[in-house]
A and B are shown apart, each in its own frame.
Chain A
Amino acid sequence: MSQPLIEFQGVEKRFGDTVIFKDFNFSVEDGEIVSIIGPSGSGKSTLLRILMTLEGIEGGVVNVAGEPLWHKRTANGLVPADNKHLHRMRHHLGMVFQHFNLFPHMSVKRNITEAPMRVQGKTKAEAEAIADELLELVGMSDKADMYPNELSGGQKQRVGIARALAMQPSILLLDEITSALDPELVDEVLDVIRNLAKKHSFTMLLVTHEMYFAREISDRVCFFDQGAIVEEGEPEQIFTAPKETRTQAFLNAYMSQ
């Protein structure tokens, strides 16, 4: 079996005195779509944020594509990564945020072309060709010249997805991307992800509260509680026959809502 694309080995993460992860182990295969569910405060988002290098770790190693993310290999073993290393590693990853975090002073198109131009050194024409393609993919071609405050939440999030894809990441991190949306706008965003999952061979890691969606799209579902994976398995098994009582309790509480 090949090496996993993402691998957490004995990771420790604290916020002050609050321990989020302790000796945390987790891995994702290349091309796998993994949903993470669980109560808030269980460390779901922190997991994605560590991968996106928005949060550091206090112990252990995180490997991405066979290389340590937060460390650099040297003759004397692993040392904490410098900015250059993090910059290089970030090319593997793209992230879509719960609150979109679009750049409000930029047009939709500029939101998407900014990073390809600045980071990958693409010309304006090249970047705009990519943007046009992605806007079509997310069904936003007609909104290219609008500004984020002129868009609905669902439209904003579709731009957020296009923006992340413009950097051609091999791993897409989706952090509760529908949690800030009105219920009637959730589906237009999930449809985009469904399409992506079908057409492309992304590795996707999603933190979500949309249980039906997680069940439909995932290869594997992980139930998190208090910084640990309580139970993981195929979606059918997790949602129809959870083994752990904590998983059962969580899902029952969810379904009865």
Chain B
Amino acid sequence: MNGFDWDWQFTFEVMPTILEAAKVTLLATLLGSCLAIVVGLSFALLRRSGFFLVRSITYWIVEFVRSTPLLVQIFFLYYVMPEFGISMSPLLTGVLALGLHYGAYLSEVFRSGIDGVEKGQWEASRALNLSVFDTYKDIVLPQALRPMIPATGNYIIAMFKETPQLSAITLLEMLQVAKIIGSENFRYLEPFTLVGVLYLLFSLIAAYGIHCVERRFPKEGITLK
């Protein structure tokens, strides 16, 4: 092993295995994002509940999740939950941990998005006797969505870059696979570089995608005829 002799043949040899692992990384991110959005929206709405107890319990859950490391949450779900009779596959655990962790962050994004909708919109909805549910569904959320897009996108990209933490619970995602390849062949340069480049590539594509979504999204929100 002497420094910078890049082996193209080895690179192409390991590429399919790493790309295969990239699917796991992307799948975890995709499912994690979906869960995070659902969790985030639920927390955001619970934070606005009319009941003080619901509001404050939600507040403390969000604070707790945000103030503890993701890795601790991953370990807890994977190693401690089986003691309570709940054991899950590494992927499911990973999706759950990412969804919960980033859901807590997203709830703040969603909350400020909802707060950003003018008070007059709530008043008009009330004057028209719309139910709280219809007010959120038809009036508030369609307008709150656009300002939420950039920050939500950033968190999803951040989540994507945190997936290597799932290697700690033996999930065979990109970095874990690269490490295994490295240790089997005593060459780390190519696999790790590949992983880095793939992360960069995916992040750039995702950032561009989010930018496009934001730009094409109507300024008034989801338009309803």
A interface residues, Cβ below 8 angstroms from B: 52-54, 87, 90-91, 93-95, 97, 99-107, 109-110, 114-115, 118-119, 145, 147, 149, 163-164, 167
Contacts and interface: CB of A to CB of B under 8 A. Distances in A.
A208 B225 CA distance: 33
A120 to B, nearest CB: 9
Contacts of B131: 87, 118-119
Contact of A104 (B123, B130, B134, B143): B143
A110 B124 contact: no
Contacts of B139: 103
Interface size class of B (residues with CB under 8 A): 20 to 34
15 contacts: A52-B126, A52-B127, A54-B126, A87-B131, A93-B127, A97-B120, A97-B127, A102-B124, A103-B121, A107-B225, A110-B225, A114-B138, A115-B128, A119-B129, A145-B225
Contacts of B124: 97, 101-103, 163
A106 B129 contact: no
B212 interface: no
Interface of B: 118, 120-121, 123-124, 126-131, 134, 138-139, 142-143, 218, 220-225
A114 B220 contact: no
Contacts of B127: 52, 54, 90, 93-95, 97, 164
B129 A91 contact: yes
B123 to A, nearest CB: 5
A203 B143 CA distance: 34
B138 to A, nearest CB: 6
